[in-house]
Amino acid sequence: MLSTALYVTLALVVMALLMNLYRLTIGPSLPDRVLALDTMYVNSIALIVLLGLWLNSKTYFESALLIAMLGFISTVAVCKYILRGDIIE
């Protein structure tokens, strides 16, 4: 049961990633792309956790934690860049 759910979820997450990539490529506006990248980071968290479940290993957890904690900072930096140009002022 779990493995079936796992496969379905994995497939969905990978599809989501593909869509993120599509949006990132197409745009059309810069905020679209930034959001796409950010969502990509969020989906990666899911992917890593799912991988951990699938391969039955705990070592993946920290990577997920790190993306969750730091991943948004790149987004913040890009946003700040778009808004103000200078990200550290």
Partner 1 sequence: MTLLWIALLPLLGVLVPALTAQRGRSFCSLATAVLPATALVMTLLNVPALLDGEQLRFSVTWMPELALDLAFRLDGLSLLFNLLILGIGLLIILYAHYYLAKDEPFGRFYAFLMLFMASMVGISMSDNLILLWLFWELTSLSSFLLIGYWSYRSDARKGARMALTVTGAGGLALLAGLLLLGDMAGSFNMGDVLASGDVILADPRYPLMLGLVLLGAFTKSAQFPFHFWLPHAMAAPTPVSAYLHSATMVKAGIFLMARLHPAIAGSELWSVVVSLVGIVTMLYGAWFALMKTDLKGILAFSTVSHLGLITVLLGIGSPMAILAALFHILNHATFKAALFMSAGIIDHETGTRELKQLGGLKKAMPVTALLTTLAAAAMAGVPLFNGFLSKEMFFTESLATPVLGGVSWLLPALATLGGILSVAYSLRLVHAVFFKPAREEPPKTPHEPPHLMRLPVEILVVLCVVVGLFPAFMATGLLELASEAVIGSPLDFHLAIWHGVNLPLIMSLLAFVVGIALYWRHGNVRRFTQQFAGIDARRVFERILISIGYRSEQLIAALEGNSLQRYVGWLWLAALVMGGIGLVQITDLTGAAGNQPLDGILILGAVMLMFGGVATAATHRYRLISLLMLSVVGLFVALTFARFSAPDLALTQLSVEVVTMILLMLALFFLPQKTPRESSPLRNVRDMLLAGTLGLVIASLNYAVMTRDTLSISSFFVENSKPGGGGYNVVNVILVDFRGFDTLGEITVLAIAGLAIFKLLNRLRLFMPHSDGEGRVWSPDRYPAVLTSISMTLLPLALLVSAFIFLRGHNQPGGGFIAGLITAVALILLYMARGVAWAQERLDFPFQPVAVIGVAVATLTGLGSWLFGHPFLTSAFGYFSLPLIGTFELATALLFDLGVYLAVVGATLMILANLGKVTTAHRPVTETSGKDTDAAAATSSAKEPR
- Site residues (vs partner 1, CB under 8 A): 10-11, 14, 17-18, 21, 24-25, 27, 30, 33-34, 37, 40-41, 44, 47-48, 51, 57, 59-60, 62-63, 65-67, 69-71, 73-74, 76-78, 80-89
Does residue 75 contact residue 41 with C-beta atoms inside 8 Å? yes
Residue 44: CB minimum distance to partner 1, A: 6
Q: What is the dihedral of CA 11, 14, 15, 19, to 10 degrees?
A: 170
Query: Toward partner 1, which CB reaches closer, 1 or 75?
Result: 75
Does residue 44 contact residue 67 with C-beta atoms inside 8 Å? yes
